Amino acid sequence: MPIKCKICSSPMNPAFTTIVLGKYEGTFYYCHKCGFLCTHEPYWLEESYSFAIASTDTGLLSRNVAVAGRMAVLLYVFLCERGNGRYLDIAGGYGLLTRLMRDFGFDFYWSDKYCQNLVARGFEYSSDLGGCRAITAIEVLEHVEDPFKFIKDAMEIGQTDTLIFTTELFEGNPPAPDQWWYYSFETGQHISFFKRSTLEILAINLGLHFATNGWLHIFSRKKINRFLFCICTGKLAALMYPLVRRHLGSLLMDDHNFLVRQNFRN
């Protein structure tokens, strides 16, 4: 039976077969219509996620620090947020981004089905908290088998109109297995890959607007000023994010006092 693309339902063709986790054979399929590249039925995932965060992800800390600064400017300027909104970092790993964004003054919360919250404990998201101005998914989409379902479900969970996310994009035909570091076949966790055209079609099928600066992307039910989005996530962000933190005021001590009152001892 032909494999159908989970983005646009077109038939997919085999792009290449490679070795995953150093021992499993995996075939990756490519959709010529939207540019989606993925594997089919990745049977190695249980072993891949024996540790939720791969040991080879040496960019974990620097990536979260870099994203947090740009995210602060994006939320403050682009979404006209002045510290009153609620946000959710979905599939938030150890809680790094949630903690950093709270340190900037944003009311961020964490969720992750597969990873332990280490640094944002006490700020786990539940539907009782209410809807979110936006949700974030940093380096997540490349891990999911069905991006359409994941985004739809995530926005419903967060009761939001806006998803801000990162994933690396490729251009043209799929790179050869040994020509793109982002495949990360040694970990087996990256199973879905995107072009800009893939995200554009995905947004249309979800009924959402889309913008990107090349590595940071946004889907929203609201109209997007693409020029302002790129300005807020570019060089301007490096100059502005200290001002955002100063204006909003960090939640660091407020959170400390809250956790003390809640008897968080461990």
**pLDDT digit string, tens, across residues 221-262:** 999 999 989 888 888 787 888 888 888 889 999 999 988 988
Cα distance between residue 16 and residue 40, in whole Å: 12
Dist CA 205 CA 8 (whole Å):
8
Neighbours of 83 (CB within 10 A): 15
Question: For the chain, first and last CA: distance in Å?
Answer: 52
Per the DSSP assignment, residues forming a β-bridge with 86 are: 107
Q: Enumerate residues 6+ apart whose C-beta is below 8 A from 69.
A: 237, 238, 241
Query: DSSP readout, 17-35?
Result: EEEETTTEEEEEEE-TTT-
| Tens digit of each residue's pLDDT (9 = 90 or more) over 145-162 | 999 999 999 999 999 999
> Tokens representing 187?
């970990």
Helices and strands in the chain: count of H runs, count of E runs: 8, 10
Tell me the pLDDT band of 81, cut-offs 50, 70 and 90: low
Task: Report the C-alpha gap between 133 and 245 in whole angstroms.
Answer: 18
Q: What's the CA gap between 59 and 65, in Å, rounded?
A: 10
pLDDT for residue 160:
96
> With bands split at pLDDT 50, 70 and 90, how would you rate the model's confidence at 266?
low
